[in-house]
């Protein structure tokens, strides 16, 4: 029973969701919307679990004074501050919550994202090698696409000469061509595999062939 009931619910839910895609009738669409609402309600309750997990992890770290426990104290203080200010004083324009969002969250998020530029540069320098014909082709294509995205750099390299002007005008088109044709063709190939793989994964979960996520039985080793 412990296994059969979840499997039956999975089967019925999976089949319904697949069938409703083809049924435009209001009844099907209303049921679909209702199921999505259920999902949101379950997710809202799961958030309670998430918050409990977050607090427990950090409180435990502070209590045992593990290495770098001060950061956990900062995390909990920030969490409590945002909750108190958000619930207690509102989160509309001009509120304290809004101020913290703009002046703490926005710069922190942007800073983390900005790390990408540094990591891309160091990863490209370290690993982008013309070791084989394929790698060389990739390397050349990547440089063309990069130059196509910032054509003004060609004027910096070649100056305002005939060659510089020609490359400045041409490189974006070549870059667009690479993005539009070879890249899209390769991407579609990957997409076919991904689509089939995801249908097959869904199918084996709906049919109960894969049940390692439920514990015991098929799918195990």
Partner 1 sequence: MKTTRLWAIGLSVLLAAPLCLAQAGLPTNLQAADDPEEPRGTQMIVSWDAPEEPLQIPGMEMIGHRILVRRVDAEEWQPSPLVPPDATSAPVADLKPWPWPEWEIGIRPEYQLAGAPAAVFRTMGWPMTSTVAAPVAEVGPVRPEGNWFNTDYTNVLVLTLLFCTIVIATIYYVRGRAEEIYIRPIAGLEAVNDAIGRATEMGKPIVYVSGLTGIGDVATIAAMLILGHLARRSAAYETEVLVPCQDPLVMATEREIVRQAYTEAGKPDAYRPESIFFVTDSQFGYVAAVDGIMLREKPAACFYMGYFFAEALILAETGNQTGAIQIAGTDADTQLPFFITACDYTLMGEELYAASAYLSRQPLLVAQLRGQDIAKTLIAALLIATVAAATYAAVATGALADAAAQLVQWFTV
Partner 2 sequence: MNFWDRLLALDRRYVFIGIALAVTIPIITALTLPLGEPAPPTVAVYEFIEGLEPGDVVMVAIDYSPSSMPELHPQAIALVRHALQKDLRVISVTLNPQGTALARDLMARVGAEVGAEDGVDYVHLGFKPGGSQVILGMGESIRQVYPTTADGRPTGTLPVMEGVNTYADIALLVDFAAGNLPFAWIAYAGERYNQDLAAGITAVMATDLYPYLQSGQLVGVINGLKGAAEYEVLLGVEGLQAPGMLGMSAQSIAHLLIIFLVIFGNIAYFASSRRRR
Q: How far is CA 116 from CA 105, 107, 122, 171, in A?
A: 18, 15, 10, 25
Compare residues 4 and 127 and give the one whose CB is closer to partner 2: 127
Which one among 45, 126, 134, 213 touches partner 2, defined by CB under 8 A? 126
Judged by beta carbon distances under 5 to 8 A according to partner kind, the member of partner 1, partner 2, none in contact with residue 151 is partner 2
In angstroms, the first-to-last Cα distance of the chain is 22
Residues near 97 by beta carbon (within 8 Å), at least 6 away in sequence: 82, 85, 86, 89, 90, 91
Among 1, 5, 116, 185, binds partner 1 (CB under 8 A): 116
Residue 37's binding partner among partner 2, partner 1, none (Cβ under 5 to 8 angstroms by kind) is partner 2
> Could you give the CA distance from residue 204 to residue 210 in angstroms, rounded to a whole number?
5
Please say which residue, 57 or 161, places its beta carbon nearer to partner 2. 161
| Alpha-carbon torsion (51, 54, 57, 63), positive or negative | negative
Q: Give the span between the Cα atoms of 154 and 176, in whole angstroms.
A: 16
Q: Does 18 bind partner 2 (CB under 8 A)?
A: no
Residue ranges in contact with partner 2 by CB under 8 A: 33, 36-37, 40, 92-93, 98, 101-102, 105-107, 109-110, 112-113, 117-118, 120-122, 124-126, 128-130, 139, 142-143, 146-147, 149-153, 155-157, 168-169, 172, 176, 179-180, 183-184, 187-188
């Amino acid at each position: 029973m412990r296994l059969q009931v979840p499997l039956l619910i999975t089967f019925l839910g999976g089949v319904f969701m697949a069938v409703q895609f083809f049924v435009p009738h209001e009844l099907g669409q209303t049921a679909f919307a209702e199921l999505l609402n259920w999902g949101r309600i379950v997710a809202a309750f799961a958030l309670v679990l998430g918050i409990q997990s977050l607090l427990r992890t950090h409180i435990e770290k502070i209590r045992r004074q593990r290495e770098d426990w001060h950061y956990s104290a900062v995390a909990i203080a920030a969490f409590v501050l945002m909750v108190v200010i958000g619930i207690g004083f509102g989160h509309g324009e001009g509120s304290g919550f809004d101020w913290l969002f703009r002046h703490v969250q926005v710069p922190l998020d942007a800073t983390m994202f900005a790390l990408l530029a540094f990591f891309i540069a160091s990863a490209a320098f370290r690993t982008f090698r013309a070791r084989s014909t394929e790698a060389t082709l990739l390397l050349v294509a990547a440089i063309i696409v990069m130059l196509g995205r910032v054509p003004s750099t060609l004027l910096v390299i070649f100056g305002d000469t005939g060659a510089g002007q020609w490359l400045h005008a041409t490189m974006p088109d070549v870059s667009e061509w690479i993005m539009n044709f070879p890249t899209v063709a390769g991407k579609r190939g990957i997409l076919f595999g991904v689509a089939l793989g995801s249908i097959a994964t869904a199918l084996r979960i709906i049919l109960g062939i894969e049940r390692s996520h439920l514990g015991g039985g098929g799918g195990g080793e």
